[in-house]
Structure 1
Amino acid sequence: MGMQRIGFLGLGAMGSGMASRLAAGGFTVSVYNRTRAKAEALAGPGITVAETPADAARDVDVLLVSLATADVVEDLLFGTGGALAAAAPGTIIADMSTVSPDAARAFADRVAAAGHRALDSCVLGNAQHAKDGELRFMIGGDAADVTALQPVFDVLAKEVVHLGDHGKGATAKVAMNLLMGVQMQSLAEAIVFGEQAGLDRGQLIKMIAASGYSSPMMKFKAGAMARRDFERADFKLALMRKDLMLALSDAQRYGVPMPATSASYEVLTAAVNAGLGDLDCAAVLSEVERQSGV
């Protein structure tokens, strides 16, 4: 009963699914989103719309944060009218955004200095997983705080892994997302190569999806590529580029060569520059086609 009141910042595809799931699970949820219409669309039993980030954080037991970039996290937590100043002492701030490990550690230090508790609570899954409570959480921070949030995880997650200190959850998320970025690139290349060599695109995609080379994610995105279903962005291409940039930045520090990630980043950058950033990351297919003269 100690974790019944939840504040929620960020109602993208993942955030809206999680907020709805929590309300259906009996929690009271105060939601804030910079585009207010997204928050108002969720208003109903168990969900109230906050006017400001501070309002969302007032009188809650835990504040969940699901935002696009570290800059937005900075603004909504620490900026003018930010959530942190309104949170009750000792509130758990669980940041589910994909940010650099350095940013996660810096946020945790500032949250602690303000008298609160922080977790980098990164998630794996898509919007449907969020709605169904099938997410996987990778967490950095104090083990006692992870335990305290277990009632929330029971509703949202099918797996929770505590990896250690602050920043470890963020590190794991970056590692996982670079895998996705490279797989999207290789899938697009295989499709365009096969088609240019005379194979039927539909048959090729079916074979790839059914093969031992295909991961569940690749099978899912192969379907999106087959349908050219890029407008409904399950994971925006621009955010995929951002996540590969985070990986490459830390790889320089650790002396890890990343030629495949670097190549994927370059194509994603070209795709963003071509105006594809707000489409699903599967739209990298369109950029590979363009570069191939298709």
Structure 2
Amino acid sequence: MKTIGVVGLGNMGRGMALSLKRGGFDVIGTDASAETRARLAGEGIEVAEGLGPICARSDIVLLSLPTAAIVEQVVAGPGGILEHAKAGLLVVDTSTSHPDTTRKLAAGLEAAGMSMMDAPVSGGPKGAITGQMTMVIGGSEEDLARALPALEAISAKRVHIGSVGAGHITKIANNLLCAAHLITAAETVRLAEAAGVDAERLLEGINAGSGRSGVTQVNFPTWVLNDGFDSGFTMKLMRKDVRLAMELIAQTGTDAPLSGEAGRLWASSAETIADDEDFNRIVQLGQR
């Protein structure tokens, strides 16, 4: 039975750790927060205070971290994975991170006899704890084959996009579309309501036609129309992902005026919508 390390035991990492344990794996996790470590220990997950025991005992280490900078610190910083190099260790980054950071870290790990895949996830905390996430994956066929049993325990769908970094590019593109769709769907709902059409019936019609999206099919009925706003994914995290998209647009010189406007609106939302609010609150931009 393989041992899987999980670094980052927040909303997503906790769910993945519990799904792996339920799937028959030995799991050892760690988190920067002592409170979080204690909570997971209370749920039956073995926890360590640092990365040393994680690297020594694990065959695969999953990273579930909020930013590319933190991923880099965990892999290449003082006391990081590179300092605890273990030949053959496979690092799988499930975070939404910057592809250049991923490729740089992958090269460093390879030079130390290890390897890396990027496998960012969709599905939120519910998908993580039920093992029903979707993963878009960058890495070699060989590494994917090694990781597959563990990935199958935490995800229902996996798409191998290409080499290292391709998963993060795809996730950035996905979240940019989601971010833009939330804004356009909110404007469309307000337009229809002003013209006398019920929002729920409007979305039923849209979802039967070519204008539908994950936002109209899932986000609005699940978290918006009922004023739930409790998806488990915050404004701060989505603003970070949109910033990554804006950086990638600038880096590649891509002509993307509508995406640029979505990026501007998400950035300006920080003035009126707090970081810890649910990311679906963007539909209320200018209305609060």
Q: CA RMSD in A?
A: 2.3
Judged with a 3 Å threshold, the aligned counterparts in structure 2 of structure 1 residues 87 and 24 are, in CA distance, closer, same or farther, namely farther
For residues 59-90 of structure 1, the C-alpha deviation after alignment (integer angstroms, 9 at most, x for no partner) is 11111001111111122222223233225222
CA contact (8 A) 2:9 2:40 kept: no
Check if 1:225 corresponds to 2:218.
Answer: no
Question: Structure 1 length as normaliser, TM-score?
Answer: 0.88
**Residue equivalent to 1:63:** 61
Rounded to whole Å, the distance in 1 between the matches of 2:115 and 2:53 is 19
Deviation at 1:122, TM superposition (A): 1.8
Judged with a 3 Å threshold, the aligned counterparts in structure 2 of structure 1 residues 41 and 87 are, in CA distance, closer, same or farther, namely farther
- Please give the secondary structure, in 1, of the residue aligned with 2:184: helix
Q: Which amino acid letter does the alignment assign opposite residue 251 of structure 2? A: R
Q: Higher mean Cα deviation, 194-203 or 237-246?
A: 194-203
Check if 1:125 corresponds to 2:130.
Answer: no
Judged with a 3 Å threshold, the aligned counterparts in structure 2 of structure 1 residues 288 and 12 are, in CA distance, closer, same or farther, namely farther
Rounded to whole Å, the distance in 2 between the matches of 1:167 and 1:26 is 29
- Please give the secondary structure, in 1, of the residue aligned with 2:120: strand
- Please give the secondary structure, in 1, of the residue aligned with 2:71: helix
**Residue equivalent to 1:141:** 139
**Residue equivalent to 2:162:** 164
Deviation at 1:181, TM superposition (A): 0.8
CA contact (8 A) 1:78 1:85 kept: yes
- Report 1:84-103 matches (<5 A): 84-103=82-101
For residues 202-237 of structure 1, the C-alpha deviation after alignment (integer angstroms, 9 at most, x for no partner) is 66566656765333443321131112223x352222
Judged with a 3 Å threshold, the aligned counterparts in structure 2 of structure 1 residues 214 and 35 are, in CA distance, closer, same or farther, namely farther
CA contact (8 A) 1:23 1:45 kept: no
Rounded to whole Å, the distance in 1 between the matches of 2:188 and 2:33 is 38
CA contact (8 A) 2:16 2:154 kept: yes
Rounded to whole Å, the distance in 2 between the matches of 1:134 and 1:150 is 14
Q: Which amino acid letter does the alignment assign opposite residue 185 of structure 2? A: L
CA contact (8 A) 1:60 1:88 kept: no
Rounded to whole Å, the distance in 1 between the matches of 2:136 and 2:76 is 24
- Please give the secondary structure, in 2, of the residue aligned with 1:159: strand
Rounded to whole Å, the distance in 2 between the matches of 1:217 and 1:19 is 28
Deviation at 1:198, TM superposition (A): 5.3
**Count of residues paired in the alignment:** 287
Rounded to whole Å, the distance in 1 between the matches of 2:74 and 2:268 is 30
- Please give the secondary structure, in 1, of the residue aligned with 2:104: helix
Percent of aligned pairs with the same amino acid: 32
Q: Higher mean Cα deviation, 188-197 or 154-163?
A: 188-197
Question: Structure 2 length as normaliser, TM-score?
Answer: 0.89
Q: Which amino acid letter does the alignment assign opposite residue 49 of structure 1? A: V
Rounded to whole Å, the distance in 1 between the matches of 2:152 and 2:240 is 30
Judged with a 3 Å threshold, the aligned counterparts in structure 2 of structure 1 residues 252 and 216 are, in CA distance, closer, same or farther, namely closer
Structure 1 unaligned regions, length at least 5 = none
Judged with a 3 Å threshold, the aligned counterparts in structure 2 of structure 1 residues 255 and 81 are, in CA distance, closer, same or farther, namely closer
CA contact (8 A) 1:6 1:28 kept: yes
Deviation at 1:201, TM superposition (A): 5.2
Deviation at 1:197, TM superposition (A): 4.9
- Report 1:1-294 matches (<5 A): 1=1, 4-43=2-41, 47-197=45-195, 199=197, 204=202, 213-223=211-221, 224-230=223-229, 232-290=230-288
CA contact (8 A) 1:271 1:277 kept: no
- Please give the secondary structure, in 1, of the residue aligned with 2:137: strand
Q: Which amino acid letter does the alignment assign opposite residue 225 of structure 1? A: V
Q: Which amino acid letter does the alignment assign opposite residue 229 of structure 1? A: G
Rounded to whole Å, the distance in 2 between the matches of 1:87 and 1:29 is 19
Q: Which amino acid letter does the alignment assign opposite residue 139 of structure 2? A: G
Judged with a 3 Å threshold, the aligned counterparts in structure 2 of structure 1 residues 39 and 196 are, in CA distance, closer, same or farther, namely farther
